[in-house]
Amino acid sequence: MSKIEKIQELQEILQEDNANYQARRQLAVLLLDSGFSEEALQHFLYLSKIFENDSGIFYNLGIVYEKLKNFEKAKDAYLKSIELSPDEMDAYYNLGLVLTELKDYDGGIACFEKVLENDPQDSNSYFSLGICQLKKGELVDAMMNFQNTIDLNDDDIYAHFYMGNILKEMGDSNSAAEQFQKVIELSPDYSWAYYNLAVIDFENGNFDDAVDKLEKTLELNPKDQEAYINYAKILAKQGMYDDASGVIERAVAAGINSGDLYYIEAQIDKRLGNLEGFENGLRLALEHEDTLSVPPSVIQKELDGLNAI
């Protein structure tokens, strides 16, 4: 019997006997597992009023709210589950994830540490602990917990990825590159790993390698705005203005309207003496100022200067 058929069967049972709580619980869980979160919510809410001391119902209620991105209500449901069953580590872990979403990183840390007190081999809790510390800017502690994750599960691509990012930020580009290479080894289609390796190559002056990795990034993720920006910068820096413009055209064709890309295009036109293109690029950059890393006032000053000629 398929899941849909089972759902239909349970719904028919409830139509005949609305007080069949066992069938309702089965239906709620099955709806949740099948991705029908809104429908599952109604049944769990109904059951929570009947079975006010059932921690499992409140735990599942937390999962439903989490899936619906209602993190405040998910938090309340997990807290109720823990109140009813203080030894329920899954509820602590999920509560930690929800608190992280709510930017209560200290609360999240406390939850993950509670899980680790119970199970020091829980790699997921070490990883989530690292995320909270990273969000707080505690890079050394975060790196330590990502390493703990890797020690327990060397196949965790995200732990390697975040380790790479921290090492890169700390200036250890060689060690960072090793982490990103490990990510690619584990997941050859992970575009962000190629992107980060490209950035490292660019910073180290390895332009050809950077271009190769950016091409791979865009092959895997044609919507990667930052890849296009860095690609255009690399080519422009080498005086390959036509190629840089070609990259910007590819980005626009992919549906990316980036102020930074238009600004790069404007600077290329300026170098080539194309004042009309320069002005047009500046105006387009200002039209997309929400994606500009250059202050709009700087661009406006360039425009004013151009119009004064």
Q: Is 237 exposed, middle or buried (0-12, 13-18, 19+ CB in 10 A)?
A: exposed
Q: What is the pLDDT of residues 229-244, one digit of tens each?
A: 999 999 998 899 999 9
Integer CA distances (angstroms), 114 to 45, 61, 91, in order: 28, 21, 11
- Answer for the pair 229, 258: CB distance below 8 angstroms, yes or no: yes
Query: What is the pLDDT at residue 7?
Result: 87
pLDDT at 127 over 90: yes
Q: What is the pLDDT of residues 135-161, one digit of tens each?
A: 999 999 999 999 999 999 999 999 999
Q: How confident is the model at residue 308 (pLDDT cuts 50, 70, 90)?
A: low
Closest by CA position to 285, among listed 306, 273, 47, 169: 306
Number of other CB atoms surrounding residue 29 within 10 Å: 16
Distance between CA atoms of residues 66 and 68, nearest Å? 5
Average pLDDT over residues 216-233: 95
Q: How confident is the model at residue 19 (pLDDT cuts 50, 70, 90)?
A: confident
Query: What is the pLDDT at residue 260?
Result: 94
- Answer for the pair 294, 281: CB distance below 8 angstroms, yes or no: no
pLDDT at 309 over 60: no
Instruction: Give the tokens for residue 30.
Output: 């099955």
DSSP, res 172: -
- 52-55: Cβ within 8 A, 24+ apart: 53/84, 54/84, 55/80, 55/81, 55/82, 55/84, 55/85, 55/88, 55/91
Closest by CA position to 94, among listed 40, 147, 55, 137: 55
Closest by CA position to 180, among listed 169, 166, 203, 196: 196
More reliable by pLDDT, 5 or 164 = 164
Distance between CA atoms of residues 283 and 292, nearest Å? 12
Distance between CA atoms of residues 213 and 161, nearest Å? 16
Query: What is the pLDDT at residue 92?
Result: 98
